[in-house]
C-alpha cells in the first residue's frame, strides 16, 4: 500500500517549484491532490503531469489572501473527497534586496497578505474538518530567513518569522484534537521564484551569491523541500508537532 493511499492533500502555490514537486510526490504515494494556485494554467500543468503518471489531482484556482476563497476551496475539496487529511500552506511571494525605508506600502501589504495571512486562512479553513475527524497534518512553508534574517530583507523575514511562531502556537492549540502543525524553513531554492529574490541583477551572479552563503555549497532544490514535507506528513513523524525542519544546507546554524 502506498504511503498516502486515500489521503486528501491540499497544496497552495502548487503551480510551480516546491509546490509542484510536492504535489507530484504526494500523488505518486497515492494521495488525492488539490493543486491550488492563483494562476490556472500552471496549476493545470501540474495536474497534467500527475495524471500522466496515473495520479489523482484536480485544479483549484484560489487567491490565498482572500479568506472566503480559501474557505470555499477547502469546502469543495472536502465535499469531493470526504475529508482533508493534509494541508500544505506553501504559497508565497519573494522580496529582492531592498532597504527598509524603500519598501513600498503595496509590497509590504502583498508580503503580509500572501506569506502570512495566506497561511493563516489555510489553517482556519481546515481546522473544523480536522477537529471533527480528530486527525490531520498542517504543514507551513516558512523560511530560514525567519530564523536567521538577511539584511535588506526585513519585511519578508518578518512574515516568515510570523509563520514560524504561528506554527509553534497552533502545534500546541490543536494537539488535543490529534492534529499536528509543522513546517519547513527552506533556504533559497532553484525554482522560478529565485529571480524574485535576485531582483533586477544578473541571475547567474545572484545565484552564486546566494549559494556562497550556504555551508553545503548549493541552493535547495524543489525535491529537497518535498522530501521534508512528505516526511512531516507521514506516520513516521507522528510525534512531531509545533516544530519546523530547516532545509537550508546549514545556513541557519
- Which tens digit of pLDDT belongs to each residue from 79-89? 999 999 999 99
- Residues above pLDDT 70, as percent of the chain: 100
Helix (H) and strand (E) counts in the chain:
9, 7
pTM of the shown model = 0.96
Q: Using one digit for the tens of pLDDT, what is the confidence trace for 217-236?
A: 999 999 999 999 999 999 99
Reply yes or no on whether 177 is catalytic. Answer: no
- CA dihedral 17→23→25→29, nearest 10 degrees, is 180
Q: Point out the catalytic residue in the list 24, 156, 177, 203.
A: 156
| C-alpha cell read off for 223 | 525535491
Asked if residue 130 has pLDDT above 90, the reply is: yes
CB 238 within 8 A of CB 182: no
| Nearest alpha-carbon partner for 35 in 79, 90, 109 | 90
DSSP single-letter state for residue 99:
-
Residues 6+ apart with CB under 8 A from 136: 84, 85, 86, 87, 126, 129, 130, 178, 179, 180
Higher pLDDT, 203 or 187: 187
Mean pLDDT value across residues 112-140: 98
Q: Report the pLDDT value the prediction gives residue 1, as an integer from 0 to 100.
A: 85
Compute CA distances 100 → 45, 56, 117, 145, whole Å: 37, 44, 21, 15
Task: Specify which residues 186 forms β-bridges with.
Answer: 247
Q: Report the pLDDT value the prediction gives residue 89, as an integer from 0 to 100.
A: 99
Residue labelled with grid coordinates 519578508: 156
SS3 117: helix
Asked if residue 202 has pLDDT above 90, the reply is: no
Amino acid at each position: 500500500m502506498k504511503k498516502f493511499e486515500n489521503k486528501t492533500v491540499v497544496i497552495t502555490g502548487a503551480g510551480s517549484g516546491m509546490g509542484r514537486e510536492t504535489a507530484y510526490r504526494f500523488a505518486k504515494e497515492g494521495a488525492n491532490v488539490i493543486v491550488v494556485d492563483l494562476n490556472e494554467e500552471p496549476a493545470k500543468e501540474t495536474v497534467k503531469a500527475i495524471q500522466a503518471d496515473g495520479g489523482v489531482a484536480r485544479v483549484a484556482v484560489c487567491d490565498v489572501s482572500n479568506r472566503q476563497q480559501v474557505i470555499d476551496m477547502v469546502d469543495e475539496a472536502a465535499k469531493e473527497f470526504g475529508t482533508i487529511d493534509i494541508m500544505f500552506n506553501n504559497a508565497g511571494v519573494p522580496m529582492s534586496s531592498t532597504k527598509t525605508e524603500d519598501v513600498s506600502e503595496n509590497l509590504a501589504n502583498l508580503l503580509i497578505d500572501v506569506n502570512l495571512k495566506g497561511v493563516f486562512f489555510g489553517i482556519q479553513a481546515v481546522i473544523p474538518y480536522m477537529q471533527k475527524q480528530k486527525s490531520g497534518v498542517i504543514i507551513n512553508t516558512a523560511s530560514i530567513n525567519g530564523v536567521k534574517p538577511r539584511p535588506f530583507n526585513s519585511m519578508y523575514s518578518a512574515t516568515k518569522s510570523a509563520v514560524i511562531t504561528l506554527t509553534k502556537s497552533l502545534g500546541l492549540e490543536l494537539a488535543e484534537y490529534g492534529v499536528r502543525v509543522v513546517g519547513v524553513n527552506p533556504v533559497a531554492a532553484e525554482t522560478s521564484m529565485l529571480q524574485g529574490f535576485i531582483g533586477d541583477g544578473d541571475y547567474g551572479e545572484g545565484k552564486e551569491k546566494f549559494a556562497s552563503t550556504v555551508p553545503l555549497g548549493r541552493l535547495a532544490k524543489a525535491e529537497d523541500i518535498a522530501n521534508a514535507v512528505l516526511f512531516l506528513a507521514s506516520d513516521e513523524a507522528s510525534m512531531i508537532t509545533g516544530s519546523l525542519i530547516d532545509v537550508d544546507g546549514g545556513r541557519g546554524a
